[in-house]
Structure 1
């Protein structure tokens, strides 16, 4: 923005201050020349208005209405050119300008108005070039920061400093979230919620919301037309076009960094999967050599095989998310072990992971719906939100050494194919434990009383009419419920081995007060 002081200094003797004897720092948006009695329809506001004063010399005895119109339009500076029309500034005009707060300047006789216009636009060009150079310098600094090992924190910090405010980057997963300065952490709960909403839109674009009466701007960072993360800004000032160019550059740098990381992760996933396949086929030496050559960690000395199955395919990148909150007779928090596991592969719709036994510890599992906001954020950026992470069945083996892996794999896969969705079961666990899990699934189903349904069905040895009569149900309703039971617990209730253990588990639950 060019100020009157800058323009007056540049023009030197071609422009003189008015009665005050000095120039103010009033900003100017342009220079306009008019001899009309009311030039305001042709003004945008903020210009330096130049006039030869013909209207004052001719007929306008009271200039106050004229100056008032300029003031109302946003004109802060009036320039009067001396010459044939006026030899000096009329006292009434000077008084009106002083009263209404419009600054008065004088263009001396014989000085073309074009000199004033030309000086203004030369200053504007210089200012634009300086702004461009500053922007290029900032963008260069951003690009250099993007080459550092701590690229994302460095870029976010540099951006916040250049804008004089705060900045945050919320990636698709909670890992790698960056906030600068640390005091902006207080804003993050709201920022995460807004970022999640932006990421679920079909066509995400820049968005804004208010925080403590200040605007916050959100910019989606896209990789292959998918939201990789959201850049959030609380600028300390109004954003300029140069600022927006810098922000666009930062989004591109973050996207490039994400793409690079994605490619590295994909390569590591392929190599880790190859190591795992060699290990479960008994080729331990080849597996260890490939891991070493690929820069992957060595196979753990104690391994627990984990098999994951869902109604739709689970990408290896979402393996950790898919095991949150699984119910089982001995609940484990599988997430840390799966997140740290580089040895995962998929075969016939089932994911197999070679977990480090030392990272797997029993603990009380939290239901999915009870996760705190800070824990939930890691799910915020699924393919289209958390709804697309499928319900999973998980089967976990006992601790094994490398030589035992091939002998367990077939049983593990077969167990995963039968395991009920939403549960964690243990390979080789007792039939009693499995039956207790089935009863819990039946009890937790709230849309129908499946416990009483199965109890009556087993009591009458699968006789539809007698069981339906005892339950007060139509026979077709009973058939539908039993189909639901088979789907829910993943086994055939008419199998004698299943029905015997299930009947005993139901009796035990009834004695324990579970209805």
Structure 2
């Protein structure tokens, strides 16, 4: 930047200040020579005006009007050339320039005006070369930073240093991932609201807006039409062409770095997906062997099963991206428009809080990820998917916390199925269908009623299900209908859900309506 003060220092006595008004520290737009009493039609503002004073009347009133006019037009200063008209600077000119706030300089004889103009252009060219060298240097630093072991953080640091402000990398939700200087994190966090607005507008939308005394620019980081995050910069002065070019370069480098990192994430995710597929198929031993062979994170001892959908592959990847941004080490597997997640114990509430749009979700209780429980995992998955198919969009069924009788019934029936003993499921279903009638349930199952009693006791003991509680039985029956429908079992609805209590000998007393509403198969 070439200023009037800098030009004066460069010329020394050939352009010396004689007034008391100092030049403003602002760019000098040019050096213009004019003897007109009103040179404004030929001036754009920001110039140094050179004159010999040939047409100026050295009286206070006209000189004051002249100086005021120049200041009002935005001139940086006035320089009087001595020799042709004046041999020294008239005191009245000094006085009116001081009063008007116009810097006054003198060009002594025999210094030509051309020398002043030539020096101005030399300084301007030198400043341009310096800006170019600085810009090229910053560009080289950005490219070098992109090859760092942590390219995103390195590019952000170089960009912040070049901007004389701060720079930040934000994830698609507007959360700050990296910021430099680190003390600017609170300021960068305030950009989150604007980032969320940009995300709603589309992946290619940029914005600029004021933030306190800073000017903030936000650019999206997108590759192949998919939003990967944002880069935000804050400057104390409006963006210069050099800084705008640096921001464009940094945005391209960051988008590439984030995409490359995401490619590595997808590769690692595909490995974890293979492990999850084995677990959900009940092949727990093979899953543990694959984890060891690929040096993946150790599998948790127990996990919740979460099934959500319908959603495509890209939407599933975005949901898994959200899990990783929230540091949720889930094991996900996508197939047939369903995303199946094994969520570590203690992380279920955070997964349930993720934005799922119009998708349904079913979450089960804890499942032990052991070889002995392999069949239970696969069975629970089938049951959870049947529940998901029966609920509406935007419905979230948390079987671990829901107090609803049907949800409790779903949880209990999944627990019963997870035992892997079909005869216990059949016994419970017959017992519920015949509303506690041992004889009719045993007849349907073609077994002795003592055998049925033994099986019902096993159901209650091993699955923790109270078949004698009317509320529990009602929810369990509805869940059994729902979960058994897709398995091809033809279930006859009940006329009522009330179950009689047994006497001291363990025999059952039938309700009056039991005889008329049901008959043995």
Q: TM-score scaled to structure 2, two decimals?
A: 0.66
Alignment-derived partner of residue 272 in structure 1: 272
Give SS of 1:54's match: coil
Deviation at 1:197, TM superposition (A): 0.9
Alignment equivalent of 2:337, drawn from 349, 356, 376: 349
Q: Deviations over 1:159-212 (max 9, x none)?
A: 444444344332125776234445444445532212111221136443234444
Larger displacement relative to structure 2 (141-150 or 261-270)? 141-150
1:361 correspondence with 2:342: no
* CA distance in 1: counterparts of 2:12 and 2:492, whole angstroms: 101
Deviation at 1:287, TM superposition (A): 5.1
Alignment-derived partner of residue 35 in structure 2: 35
Contact map agreement 2:172 2:227 (CA 8 A) in 1: yes
Higher RCO, 1 or 2 (CA under 8 Å, sep at least 6)?
Answer: 1
Change (3 A) 1:242 1:367: closer
Deviation at 1:251, TM superposition (A): 2.0
Q: Deviations over 1:274-308 (max 9, x none)?
A: 3444555577776556545544235x273547352
Contact map agreement 1:274 1:345 (CA 8 A) in 2: yes
* CA distance in 2: counterparts of 1:215 and 1:74, whole angstroms: 25
Deviation at 1:273, TM superposition (A): 2.2
Contact map agreement 1:157 1:167 (CA 8 A) in 2: yes
Alignment equivalent of 1:422, drawn from 383, 396, 405: 396
Deviation at 1:504, TM superposition (A): 5.8
Contact map agreement 1:26 1:76 (CA 8 A) in 2: no
Give SS of 1:177's match: strand
Contact map agreement 2:168 2:231 (CA 8 A) in 1: yes
Q: Deviations over 1:380-403 (max 9, x none)?
A: xxxxxx574633234566213246
1:76 correspondence with 2:53: no
* CA distance in 1: counterparts of 2:375 and 2:150, whole angstroms: 41
C-alpha RMSD over aligned residues: 4.4
Contact map agreement 1:97 1:104 (CA 8 A) in 2: yes
Change (3 A) 1:407 1:107: same
Contact map agreement 1:316 1:344 (CA 8 A) in 2: no
* CA distance in 2: counterparts of 1:8 and 1:156, whole angstroms: 39
Deviation at 1:86, TM superposition (A): 4.2
Contact map agreement 2:302 2:368 (CA 8 A) in 1: yes
* CA distance in 1: counterparts of 2:496 and 2:79, whole angstroms: 97
Deviation at 1:263, TM superposition (A): 0.8
Contact map agreement 1:306 1:354 (CA 8 A) in 2: yes
Q: 1:412-451 residue pairs with structure 2 within 5 A?
A: 412-419=381-388, 420=391, 421-425=395-399, 434-435=408-409
Deviation at 1:221, TM superposition (A): 2.6
Alignment-derived partner of residue 63 in structure 1: 63
Q: TM-score scaled to structure 1, two decimals?
A: 0.67
Give SS of 2:62's match: coil
Give SS of 1:352's match: strand
* CA distance in 2: counterparts of 1:303 and 1:387, whole angstroms: 24
Alignment-derived partner of residue 400 in structure 1: 369
Q: 1:129-168 residue pairs with structure 2 within 5 A?
A: 129-168=129-168
Deviation at 1:73, TM superposition (A): 0.8
* CA distance in 1: counterparts of 2:175 and 2:316, whole angstroms: 16
Give SS of 1:423's match: strand
Contact map agreement 2:320 2:332 (CA 8 A) in 1: no
Alignment-derived partner of residue 118 in structure 1: 118
* CA distance in 2: counterparts of 1:98 and 1:56, whole angstroms: 17
Change (3 A) 1:393 1:306: same
* CA distance in 2: counterparts of 1:503 and 1:227, whole angstroms: 53
Larger displacement relative to structure 2 (496-505 or 403-412)? 496-505
* CA distance in 2: counterparts of 1:403 and 1:503, whole angstroms: 35
Give SS of 1:106's match: strand
Contact map agreement 1:435 1:501 (CA 8 A) in 2: no
Counting matched residue pairs gives: 419
Structure 1 alignment gaps of length 5 or more: 324-333, 372-378, 380-385, 439-485, 506-515
Q: Deviations over 1:241-281 (max 9, x none)?
A: 22223333332232122111111111122232234445555
